[in-house]
Amino acid sequence: MIKKIIQLYWYEKTDKTQEHRTFRKSYARFTKHGFRGMHERLNKDYTKIEKDYIVHSQLSKKYSTFVTRLFFLFIFLSAFTYTMFIESELYESQTTLMVRDLSSTPSASTLGLSLLGVGSSSQLQDSMVVKEYLLSLDMFKTLDKKFALIKHYKSDDLDFISRLSSDATLEDALEFYKKRMLVEYDETSALLHISYLHTDPKKAQEILKFTIKAVDDMLNKFNRKKAKKQLAFVELEYKKSKNAMDMAAKALEAYQDKHLLLNPQSNATSSSEIIAGLQSALTQKKIEYKTKSNYLNKNNYELLALKSEIKEIEASIKNAKEALTGKSKNRLNKILFAYNKLKMQFEFSTEVYKNALIQLETTKLEVLKNSKTLSIVTKPNLPDGYTYPKKLKMFITLLIGILLLYGIFSMLVQIIKDHKE
């Protein structure tokens, strides 16, 4: 019926001699004869147009174009009205952080990367851990418990299109949260840019401040947990090294008690010095014996005494050498080698024990201190104006998009009509 009224109106406009009375006549008929009477009389007037095939075809084509434009105009006005007057305005609080590791000193390679403007692999790993934690279900549950995010996402604070449905699942709420919590890592500067969107600017700032504290606690909790596991391993190795050192000390002590020696090395040195002294005395006695044998009789008392002394000295040297390096089970060189082996084992065990003790104390400090920290480059700001939606940009985008769609649609319709003809 609307189509007929509009086409009759256009038909009247083509006749310059007649007054445009279609809308007034239809209204008068409706008040006098009702809807049914108006419809019957309207059909009688419309038969004039249907009899003229050319006029009817032209008016139908014009009406199709009119309806198409009206349809696209309706879409544009609906989207424009929603964007400009209905869509919730979101305020964005922003902060910039840097994850720093206080427990490690930068190596040469890391220093080189820093000079080139590239963050270290440790910073990258820690920053990625922070990013994943910020967007995790655990973080969302923590924030929801503190700020009732799910209730807010379903409330009238958000417009009817963007808000969560009343029967939304936890997974739906998490996805909604990820669209509000924006996290970006800059690999060049090793900075984390974090922002949160909320309909209340103060609430956005509060959520971001709470998030920073929660992430800082998480980092150090994770590091302490790691350090505790390492501490358990170091304590076990410390006990092993202490037991090994005690056993080596007992073995060395038992060997000293068995051979009644404090240090076989000093005994070996003394034996060597005695042998050297005996050899020197032997040489002197042989020289003296040879000298006197030139002018004394072989049976002379002095020569016989010297010869007896030489034999005794040679026997003493032989006995001393056998005691030092002979075939006896208790020879001094065997005792010395065994002693040195036990001593080296004890010194090695002592060194291992020292290193284990140092590592143990270092790891205990790691458990207590905060080795990872968040350096706040820029504090969470209090936004003084909404960030989304960007109304001017949306208006221009909508206008261009609708015009493009209308142009494409009109072109397709014209192609189809030409193909039919």
Q: Name the pairing type of β-strands 372-378 and 191-198.
A: unpaired
The per-residue DSSP string of 356-384 comes to HHHHHHHHHHHHHS--EEEEEEEPPP--S
What is the pLDDT of the chain when averaged over all its residues?
Answer: 78
**Sequence-distant (≥ 6) Cβ neighbours of residue 302 within 8 angstroms:** 292, 296
Residue-wise pLDDT for 282-331, tens only, equals 788 777 777 777 777 777 777 777 777 877 877 776 666 655 555 555 55
* Unique residue bearing structure tokens 């968040």: 374
Q: Cα(117)–Cα(111) distance, rounded to whole angstroms?
A: 10
pLDDT attached to residue 94: 95
- In a domain, residue 260? The reply is yes
Is residue 80 domain-shared with residue 36, that is, in the same domain? no
pLDDT attached to residue 112: 45
pLDDT attached to residue 402: 92
Is residue 43 domain-shared with residue 66, that is, in the same domain? no
Is residue 321 domain-shared with residue 262, that is, in the same domain? yes
Give the mean pLDDT of 219-237: 79
Report whether pLDDT(201) > 90: yes
Range list of β-strands (E), 240-322 = none
Is residue 272 domain-shared with residue 301, that is, in the same domain? yes
Q: Is residue 130 a contact partner of residue 154, using CB atoms and an 8 Å limit?
A: no
Is residue 100 domain-shared with residue 213, that is, in the same domain? yes
- In a domain, residue 182? The reply is yes
Closest CA to 162 of 153, 170, 174, 149: 153
- In a domain, residue 295? The reply is yes
Q: Cα(421)–Cα(417) distance, rounded to whole angstroms?
A: 6
Residue-wise pLDDT for 391-404, tens only, equals 899 999 999 999 99
pLDDT attached to residue 317: 66
Is residue 123 domain-shared with residue 218, that is, in the same domain? yes
Is residue 186 domain-shared with residue 270, that is, in the same domain? no
- In a domain, residue 384? The reply is no
Report whether pLDDT(226) > 70: yes
The residue among 282 and 146 whose pLDDT is bigger is 146
Is residue 242 domain-shared with residue 355, that is, in the same domain? yes
- In a domain, residue 410? The reply is yes
Question: What CATH code is carried by the domain that includes residue 320?
Answer: 1.10.287
Is residue 188 domain-shared with residue 305, that is, in the same domain? no
pLDDT attached to residue 228: 75
Residue-wise pLDDT for 111-145, tens only, equals 444 444 444 567 788 889 899 999 999 999 999 99
Is residue 96 domain-shared with residue 221, that is, in the same domain? yes
Question: pLDDT > 90: what percent of the chain?
Answer: 29
Structural domains of the chain, count: 4
Model confidence at 259, pLDDT cuts 50, 70, 90, reads: low
Is residue 130 domain-shared with residue 252, that is, in the same domain? no
Give the mean pLDDT of 158-169: 91
pLDDT attached to residue 109: 43
Q: Cα(359)–Cα(342) distance, rounded to whole angstroms?
A: 26
- In a domain, residue 66? The reply is yes
CA angle at 31 for the pair 26 and 37, rounded to the nearest 5°: 65
pLDDT attached to residue 272: 64
Give the distance, in angstroms, between the CA of residue 176 and the centroid of all CA atoms in the same chain: 22
pLDDT attached to residue 13: 60
| Domain interval for residue 321 | 235-368
Q: Is residue 126 a contact partner of residue 101, using CB atoms and an 8 Å limit?
A: yes
Report whether pLDDT(97) > 90: yes
Residue-wise pLDDT for 75-95, tens only, equals 999 999 998 899 999 999 999
Model confidence at 61, pLDDT cuts 50, 70, 90, reads: confident
Is residue 222 domain-shared with residue 262, that is, in the same domain? no
